[in-house]
Structure 1
Amino acid sequence: MAGCALAATIGLIPSSPAQAEPEIKNVQARVDTLYHEAEQASERYNDAKIELDELQADLKALRSDENREDKSLDVVRNQARDAILRQYAGTSLSAVGEVLSAGEPGEFLEQVSTMSSYQRLQQGLFENYRTGLKALSIRQDATRKRLAQVAETEAQLAEEKATIEAKLADAKELLGRLKEEERREVLSRGTADRSSAADVADVPVSGRASAAVAYAMAQVGDAYVYGAAGPSAFDCSGLTMMAWAAAGVALPHSSSAQYGSGTRVAASALRPGDLVFYYSPISHVGMYIGNGMIVHAANPSTGVQVTGLYSMPYVGAVRPG
């Protein structure tokens, strides 16, 4: 499917001099699209990882509750059996034997309910057993549902990972078809703004934002790797997460989740350290560093770089901490 899209966009690479070479601008546009689609899948992957962590923590708690409830039910069940034995001491225990041989909790409850001795059982004890059995059933059902959600989320992770790899492979194949000089031209277009770091060197930054900006700027030139969060490679949300971690502020590894993790800030009120977000739905994040510039992990071709605030479709900004 992706190969068909590539062919439709740039045409076939020439097998003879008579065929036209693909135009650089078309290649650049297609590579940029592939990188963006891969990043969208990467951020969905990051979101799914966060969801999976939460589901697994919830599942662990549910299993712990289930085990506690199961042990509690065993205690009440043994107390009920003892009560029956005491009340039938010295008489035929054939009916009691049927109860004691019941394997499943539900079977035990059903047999006790049909015995003529039911009215003489301690009502409170029996109700405790009934309540415990219901509570155990509820917890078992909740555990099964969480297990199903975990499996579904793990399948989503695998799907998004496959999408990332496919988009990246298509981009590499497309770039590989170009002549070396043309390939360098495509890859160098995204690095033109690196020298702009000097334009923001004199912008004052205070408080925790100072540490966040310093960390992000120190990574300029590092590689872009989907899902990475340092120390020498980052994706967009991995860079901003680690930058603010250096300032003592915890952020999730997801651009959309980071958008909900701070105070919203108007573009006219931006300060260095603020996080800026792009595309709809949100799939990219960078850090404002002053003078209309941002530092961000851009894509696999350019890595971490400095560029203009409005170099991508701007959505909004938040101030962490």
Structure 2
Amino acid sequence: MAAHRKPRQRSLGGTTVRTAATLALAGAAGATAFDGTGHAEPQLTPAQVKTKVDKLYQEAEAATEKYDGTKEKADTAQRRLNSLRDETARKQNGLNAARNALGSYATAQYRQGGIDPAWQLALSSDPDRYLEGAAFAERADARQAGAVTRVREQLREIEQLRGAARIEVKSLRARQTELRQQKRTITAKLTEARRLLARLTPPQQARVTGDGGATGRASRSASDARAALEHAGSVAAPDTRAAAAVAYAYQKLGSPYVWGATGPNAFDCSGLAQAAYHSAGISLPRTTYAQINAGRRVSRSELQPGDLVFFYSGISHVGIYVGNGQMIHAPNPSAPVRLAPVDLMPFAGATRVA
């Protein structure tokens, strides 16, 4: 019988020690990563934060303009759907009345028993009167046949309306899905921008969110507003409507930026432009990429107060030119409606609305 030998224990030397040490270090690194202290997020300078935040705001605004356009289409689809439903209800009421009339006629015919006209004439005590009645009945039959035809037409019209309504419902649901997606995109970008700004001190935040030429802030005083209005009067607008739009924009200095808002107390960039010209009696489209085509294009050297100035290659931002190289715009959630230089952002074009 073979002897049972105790297995020889290997010393923790050489490769074994190195392997154990490697595993221990890996475990420590893993534990550090899980407790949040192993891979700290690199500290960004205020300049780097500004670059990232500006890009996030610009992307959020581009998404906001898409949101505004989609919402406009959704609202249009909802109005069409409501109109189709109202028209269907009206035609259904007419159809019900016509059916009731035909039902009454059919009941009367049944009660008469449908006797052969020749026997009705032979049995009649007043043949002349019967013949007059028979002629009336023929005319009545013709009218009833017309009523039946109209009922059939109404049924076809109602079915067409219902088909159109089904298409509008499908369109509306698709728009609503787009709105939810765009809202998530906007919210995510704004949340990330707020997170980056929160890492800065208040003075650093003020420098990052300032635009170098702004004079309006949420806390601007009454004297600041009066000074801005006096400045507005120093540069003449080309006509009364442009002047009214510029005056409206000055009155809204300090109003908060809220994406999707069109006033009267909060705005996004295209919402401010739309509201300003609405106050002047001019209806503008809702989005920047539609507003740029709402008037006559003008070059940068031709700018006059009241012209709409647009920025970025995707036409995702708009301001109202007020003269002296300045515009009034709704910048982003970190800044209220304010004055800023036109050369603050990449210039994309300008339109004269009035």
Q: Secondary structure at the match of 2:327?
A: strand
Structure 2 residue runs of 5 or longer lacking an equivalent are 1-35, 115-140, 217-227
Q: Name the aligned partner's letter for residue 318 of structure 2.
A: V
CA shift, 1:201, in A, is 6.2
Contact 1:262 1:320 in 2 (8 A): yes
**Residue pairs, 1:95-174, within 5 angstroms:** 122-174=144-196
- 1:219-238 mapped onto 2 (5 Å cutoff): 219-238=252-271
Look up the match of 2:117.
none
CA contact (8 A) 1:228 1:235 kept: yes
**Contact kept? 2:215, 2:338, Cα under 8 Å:** no
Q: 2:68 pairs with 37, 46, 49, which one? A: 46
String of CA shifts for 1:246-294, please: whole Å, max 9, x gaps: 3232334422332233333333332110112222332211111123322
Percent identity between the aligned chains? 38
Counterpart Cα distance in 1 of 2:270 and 2:301: 23
**Deviation (angstroms), 1:204:** 1.7
Gaps of 5+ in 1: 1-13, 93-118
Which secondary structure state, in structure 1, belongs to the residue aligned with residue 333 of structure 2?
A: coil
Per the alignment, residue 52 of structure 2 pairs with 30
Q: Deviations over 1:82-123 (max 9, x none)?
A: 33334333439xxxxxxxxxxxxxxxxxxxxxxxxxx99954
CA distance in 2 between counterparts of 1:45 and 1:235 reads: 12
Alignment check: 8 A CA contact 1:292 1:309 kept: yes
Which whole-Å CA distance do the structure 1 matches of 2:95 and 2:192 have between them?
58
* Residue in structure 1 matched with residue 107 of structure 2 by the alignment: 85
Aligned to 1:67: 89
The SS at the match of 1:223 is coil
Instruction: Report the AA paired with residue 68 of structure 1.
Output: R
1:312 corresponds to: 345
Q: Which has the larger radius of gyration?
A: 2
What amino acid sits opposite 2:262 in the alignment?
A
Q: TM-score of the superposition, structure 2-length normalised?
A: 0.69
CA contact (8 A) 2:232 2:247 kept: no
Asked whether the 8 Å contact 2:246–2:320 carries over to 1, the reply is yes
| In 2, Cα distance between equivalents of 1:32 and 1:296 | 15
Contact 1:278 1:284 in 2 (8 A): yes
Distance 1:128 1:225 in 2: 53
CA distance in 2, matches of 1:36, 1:221: 20
Provide runs of 4+ in structure 1 moved above 6 Å: 196-201
Query: Which residue of the partner structure matches residue 98 of structure 1?
Result: none
User: Does residue 55 of the first structure (1) align with residue 87 of the second (2)?
Assistant: no
TM-score, normalisation: structure 1: 0.76
**Hey, what does 2:19 align to over in structure 1?**
none
Deviation at 1:301, TM superposition (A): 2.6
CA 1:195–1:90: 2 relative to 1, 3 Å? closer
SS at match of 2:111: coil
Secondary structure of the corresponding residue to residue 343 of structure 2: coil
Moved more, 57-66 or 251-260: 251-260
Number of residues paired by the alignment?
279
Match runs of 1:239-254 below 5 Å: 239-254=272-287
Aligned-pair CA distance for 1:41: 1.7
